[in-house]
């Protein structure tokens, strides 16, 4: 499966910005199932310095800075990503593997370095604080003898059913507690919610950002720029690896989920982060995303 993804971010400033330093998590990383064939980043106005590196989590980051006056900033990323068809065919049986109790036991006792490193994802992270409320919400699905993955699938289903997708209900800074109370949010909130639940129960979970291929209603043309960036989560089962779930769509990511980056939460993989000098009091951000399937 080959995709072409165009992701354009546009900032319009109130007043000219004289200086800015940014870093962007916009270029898809390689994963077990995915290979980023190419990815170009194009910034307007042209930045005085720009370079790429791999961050702590293995994501691609692009650093750039602008030192001349500008009133708007355009960041366009054009990527081609190849997804392994096997992933779909793998047909993981969620009922086998570690039970919840076994998973917890192995997390505590295993001396496998992969397990040691995964334990980082049980801890608090800047945007996700485990809590009793989160634990209480998810505990019923994670019975001792249930397999961890089927429990995670169940959690995904419940979030999908219990929560309303509502882009106007939250912002990037809405605390998890509020999302849980209001029962509304967007993909980022739902991913955070699931991660918070898993961590509250002692399981490693991480945040995955990326894209989802959307298909227009039958008989209509797909609109340009109508896609959006997306987010879901992954849970770690000791000795078995990381498994992804999408609570916004109530499914298991397959050949329509393209990964950009992962981290402990959104703050590790914020698409564009930076500091600007001047620029006035307000700025308008517009984002457009196109996910186009080139070949199956």
Partner 1 sequence: MNQTPPRRVPWQLPRQQQQGQHQTQSQNAVSDELASAFAYPPLEGFNDEVYEDNGEQRDHWQYVLDSLETLGAEALTDRQQKASRILRDDGATYNLSATPGNRQTWSLDPVPLLIESEEWNGIESSLVERSELFDLVLQDIYGPRDLIRHGVIPPELIFSHAGFLRQCHGIKIPGEQQLILHNVDMVRDTDGQMCVIGDRTQAPSGAGYALENRTVMSRVLPSLFRDSHVHRLSLFFQALRLKLAALCPGDDIPHVVVLTPGAYSETYFEHTLLANYLGYPLVQGADLTVRGGQVWMKTLDGLKRVDVILRRLDDYFCDTVELRSDSQLGVPGLLDVVRCGQVVVANPLGSGVLEHPALLKYLPAIGKHFLGREPQLRSVETYWCGEDSDRQYVLDHFDEMIIKTTFRRSGDHSIFGSELSAEEKQDWMRRIETKPLNFVGQRYHLPSTAPNWSQQGLVSRPLVLRSFAVANSSSYTIMPGGLTRVGTGDNKMIISSQLGSTSKDTWVLASEPEKQVSLNRDNGLVVGSGADQGMHLPSRVAENLFWMGRYAERADASLRLLRTVFMQLNSIEPLSVSARDTLLYAVTQVSTTYPGFIGGTGPITLAIDKELLSVILDETRPGTVASNIQAMLVSSEEVKEMLSADTQRVLNDLRDALADLDGALRLGLTSAPEEALDPLVTTLLALAGLSHESLVRGTGWRFLEMGRTLEKSYQMTSLLQSTLVSDQSESDLATVLESVLLTFEMLVSYRRRYRSGVEITSSLQLLMIDKANPRSLLFQLTALKEHIDNLPDTSHALGMNPQGRCLLEAMTAVQLADLHEMGVCDQTSGSRVKLEQVLGKVQKLLGRTATLISDKYFDHRIEHQQLVPDRWEDE
Residues lying near partner 1 in the complex (CB under 8 A) = 11, 18-23, 48-49, 51, 53, 55-57, 63, 65, 67, 111, 113, 116-117, 119-120, 122-124, 126-127, 172-173, 267-268, 270, 272-279, 283
Contact 257, 244 (CB under 8 A): yes
Cα separation of 170 and 104, whole Å? Answer: 33
d(CA 41, CA 46): 11
Q: Which two tokens stand for residue 29?
A: 């990383």
Which is closer to partner 1, CB of 19 or CB of 94? Answer: 19
Minimum CB distance to partner 1, residue 95 (Å)? 29
Query: In the complex, what is the shortest distance from the CB of residue 84 to partner 1, in angstroms, rounded to a whole number?
Result: 28
Q: Distance between alpha carbon 2 and the CA centroid of its chain, in Å?
A: 20
- Smallest distance from the beta carbon of 204 to partner 1, in angstroms? 10
Q: Are strands 70-83 and 2-24 parallel, antiparallel or unpaired?
A: antiparallel
**Any idea which residue has 């009793």 for tokens?**
132
Which residue number, 20 or 151, has a Cβ lying nearer to partner 1?
20
Main-chain phi, psi angles of 248, to 5 degrees? -70, -35
CA 249, CA 222: separation in Å to the nearest integer?
19
Nearer to partner 1, 8 or 122 (CB): 122
Q: In angstroms, give the least distance from the CB of 129 to partner 1.
A: 8
**Min separation Cβ 55 and partner 1, Å:** 7
State which residue, 173 or 215, has the beta carbon closest to partner 1: 173
* 8 vs 146, beta carbon nearer partner 1: 8
């Amino acid at each position: 499966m080959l995709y072409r993804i165009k992701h354009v971010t546009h900032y319009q400033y109130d007043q000219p910005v004289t200086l800015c330093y940014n870093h962007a998590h916009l270029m898809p990383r390689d994963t077990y199932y995915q290979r980023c064939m190419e990815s170009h980043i194009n910034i307007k106005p042209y930045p005085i310095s720009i370079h790429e590196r791999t961050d702590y989590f293995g994501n691609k980051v692009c650093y750039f800075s602008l030192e001349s006056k500008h009133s708007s900033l355009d960041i366009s990323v054009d990527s081609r990503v190849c997804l392994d068809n096997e992933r779909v065919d793998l047909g993981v049986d969620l009922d086998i593997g570690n039970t919840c109790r076994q998973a917890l036991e192995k997390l505590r006792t295993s001396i496998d370095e992969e397990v040691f490193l995964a334990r980082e994802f049980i801890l608090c992270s800047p945007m996700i604080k485990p809590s009793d409320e989160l634990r209480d919400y998810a505990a019923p699905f994670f019975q001792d003898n249930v397999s961890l993955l089927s429990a995670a699938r169940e959690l995904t289903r419940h979030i999908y059913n219990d929560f309303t997708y509502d882009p106007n209900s939250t912002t990037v800074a809405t605390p998890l507690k509020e999302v849980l109370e209001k029962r509304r949010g967007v993909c980022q909130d739902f991913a955070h919610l699931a991660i918070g639940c898993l961590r509250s129960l002692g399981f490693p979970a991480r945040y995955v950002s990326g894209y989802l291929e959307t298909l227009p209603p039958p008989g209509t043309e797909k609109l340009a720029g109508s896609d959006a960036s997306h987010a879901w989560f992954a849970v770690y089962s000791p000795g078995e690896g990381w498994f992804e779930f999408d609570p916004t769509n109530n499914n298991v990511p397959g050949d329509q989920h393209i990964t950009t980056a992962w981290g402990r939460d959104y703050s590790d993989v914020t698409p564009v982060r930076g500091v600007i000098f001047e620029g006035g009091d307000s700025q308008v951000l517009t984002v457009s995303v196109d996910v186009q399937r080139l070949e199956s």
